[in-house]
């Protein structure tokens, strides 16, 4: 008798599983796109990081007595919305270190590959809840899906550069979740030796850092970095301690004693530690640009503390990613639309782009080269992208190409090249070009009037082909693309090869320095070589001249 039918007999039944910390009770739920599945939501993977544990690395979860309900999501970490037009107050709780496990079958004849998803949201918004990240598309392909919460913004990423508040707490939450999965996933029918960690945007950058973090070594076999890498500028925090001190002053603490400042932060009500945008440079304060104020820091050593990350991202990557780990990495066609979506003023963007050469200066130059040199660099970039055009709605695509590279594509291709140069790890590169009614980023962010002149594939539009954020007709063209995308993603998770056979009618080759192979993932799958060749060459030659450490 077929497993799908047998599991359907258990629909709505409560199902108990014994994990290392105690017994949890989930349920079997239906899937409009396939077989019913086992759902366990709101599983604690660490102690609540409250009181003295605020800003600290997460502590292992204490075992519980009795049966713990796992049919509902637990509270998410404090967050506020940055991308949509919503102006809701921040929501969440400090008691938020929970994850969700969805399994096709908790007693399979062969254990399933496991896919652990790390959500994006600029390190200030998002959660692992299934209102956005449900497993219904992926689980059809016989994989277990895990989604996680981790601390965000100030509570998750504040750094005073001290032993009390070293930084990267939210990243250490992710490590704790991965350790929990490694130790417990067999109880849900999963294979602890075949775990793929994947994420998008800030989640993609997180996955990229896990590729090199000493804390993450051995916790996964494969990784997918979607629209975010450690070699982009925005996940890396400049002068984090200065920001922490400015925040303390803004909240009323003028002490110069680090212990007193740490105590002050721990005593603050949570609402004082959410949605605080604090620039630390004149450039950050004046430029009309989306900023990530709290990201990953290079941690100092204090005794024998576990450090999540230290060193320069490009240098650390050059030393190699974890042995034996395979990677899939890519970007959407119009990533740069994100630039307009986080509350920035588009008219002011045009005005600054026309007025200041520094507007076209990639971020690393703003902190590492003199102003006169920045003006020279800005002039080169402005001429390359705008030719002699004025920045306006009529030249939006030219500006967009610069934003694509500045925010995402240069960093993504840099990661690809550095991994390929050392020829120790297999990596696949893609460009995502699917266009359908699922591409709703510009509608959700109120940018549909600005970008009404052509169909776009914005930052985050790829997610709707992986997670069911709205109902999709199984007979639609959009669903055909969902089928292709989820097949590629789960093939990679199963075999380390997104096209192990000819069922998709295409062979996606690993990226090499010689060919620079990639796959264009649209309605049709089209292999290509040397993506964004002219732009990449321009950027690399510029960095070679002025900041060679940023050349892959």
Q: Which residues are catalytic?
A: 201, 335
Contact between 11 and 30 (Cβ < 8 Å): yes
Dihedral pair phi/psi, residue 154, rounded to 5°: -65, -45
Helix axes 371-386, 533-546, angle to 10 degrees: 170
Contact between 224 and 207 (Cβ < 8 Å): yes
According to DSSP, the residues that pair with 431 across neighbouring strands are 331, 520
Contact between 526 and 519 (Cβ < 8 Å): yes
C-alpha span between 60 and 58 (Å, rounded): 7
Q: Give the distance from CA 171 to its chain's centroid.
A: 11
According to DSSP, the residues that pair with 77 across neighbouring strands are 93
Q: Would the CA dihedral through 509, 512, 515, 516 be positive or negative?
A: positive
* Tokens encoding 403: 């934003």
According to DSSP, the residues that pair with 107 across neighbouring strands are none
Three-state SS for 418? Answer: helix
Q: What is the H or E stretch that residue 352 is in?
A: helix 346-355
According to DSSP, the residues that pair with 26 across neighbouring strands are 15
Distance from the first to the final alpha carbon of the chain: 54
C-alpha span between 141 and 551 (Å, rounded): 39
- What is the number of other CB atoms lying within 10 angstroms of the CB of residue 253? 18
Three-state SS for 55? Answer: coil
C-alpha span between 101 and 482 (Å, rounded): 21
C-alpha span between 76 and 511 (Å, rounded): 37
According to DSSP, the residues that pair with 23 across neighbouring strands are 18, 67
DSSP 279-317: --SHHHHHS------S-B--PPP-TTPPPS--S-HHHHH
């Amino acid at each position: 008798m077929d497993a799908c039918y047998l599991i359907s007999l258990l629909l709505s039944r409560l199902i108990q599983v014994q994990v290392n910390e105690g017994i949890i009770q989930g349920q079997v739920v239906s899937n409009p796109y396939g077989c019913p599945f086992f759902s366990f939501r709101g599983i604690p993977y660490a102690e609540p990081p409250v009181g003295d544990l605020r800003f600290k690395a997460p502590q292992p979860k204490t075992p519980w007595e009795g049966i713990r309900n796992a049919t509902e999501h637990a509270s998410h970490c404090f967050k506020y919305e940055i991308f949509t037009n919503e102006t809701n107050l921040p929501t969440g709780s400090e008691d938020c270190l929970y994850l969700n496990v969805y399994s096709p079958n908790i007693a399979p004849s062969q254990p399933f590959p496991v896919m652990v998803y790390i959500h994006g949201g600029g390190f200030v918004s998002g959660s692992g809840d299934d209102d956005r990240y449900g497993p219904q598309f992926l689980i059809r392909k016989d994989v277990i899906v895990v989604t996680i919460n981790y601390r965000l913004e100030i509570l998750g990423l504040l750094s005073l550069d001290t032993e009390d508040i070293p930084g990267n707490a939210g990243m250490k939450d992710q490590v704790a979740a991965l350790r929990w999965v490694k130790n417990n996933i067999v109880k849900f029918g999963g294979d602890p030796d075949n775990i793929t960690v994947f994420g998008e945007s800030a989640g993609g950058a997180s996955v990229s850092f896990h590729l090199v973090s000493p804390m993450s070594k051995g916790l996964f076999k494969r990784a997918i970095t979607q629209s975010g890498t450690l070699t982009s500028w925005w996940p890396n925090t400049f002068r984090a301690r200065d920001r922490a001190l400015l925040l303390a002053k803004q909240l009323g603490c003028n002490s110069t004693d680090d212990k007193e400042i740490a105590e002050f932060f721990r005593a603050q009500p949570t609402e004082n530690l959410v949605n605080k945008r604090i620039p630390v440079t004149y450039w950050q304060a004046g430029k009309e640009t989306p900023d990530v104020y709290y990201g990953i820091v290079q941690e100092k050593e204090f005794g024998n503390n576990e450090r999540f990350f230290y060193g320069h991202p490009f240098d650390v990557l050059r030393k190699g990613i974890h042995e034996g780990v395979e990677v899939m990495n890519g970007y959407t066609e119009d990533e740069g639309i994100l630039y307009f979506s986080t509350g920035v003023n588009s008219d002011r963007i045009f005005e600054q782009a026309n007025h200041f050469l520094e507007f076209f200066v990639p971020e690393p130059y703003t902190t590492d080269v003199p102003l006169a040199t920045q003006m020279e660099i800005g002039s080169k970039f402005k001429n390359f992208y705008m030719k002699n055009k004025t920045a306006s709605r009529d030249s939006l695509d030219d500006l967009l190409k610069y934003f694509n590279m500045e925010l995402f594509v240069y960093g993504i291709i840099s990661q690809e090249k550095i991994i390929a140069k050392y020829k120790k790890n297999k990596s696949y590169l893609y460009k995502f070009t699917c266009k359908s009614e699922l591409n709703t980023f510009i509608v959700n962010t109120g940018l549909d009037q600005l970008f009404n002149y052509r169909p776009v594939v914005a930052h985050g539009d790829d997610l709707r082909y992986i997670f069911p954020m709205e109902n999709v007709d199984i007979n639609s063209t959009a669903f055909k693309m969902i089928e292709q995308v989820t097949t590629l993603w789960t093939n990679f998770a199963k075999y380390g090869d997104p096209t192990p056979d000819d069922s998709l009618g295409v062979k996606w080759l690993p990226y090499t320095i010689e060919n620079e192979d990639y796959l264009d993932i649209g309605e049709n799958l089209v292999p290509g070589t040397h993506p964004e060749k002219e732009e990449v060459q321009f950027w690399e030659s510029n960095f070679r001249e002025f900041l060679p450490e940023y050349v892959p």
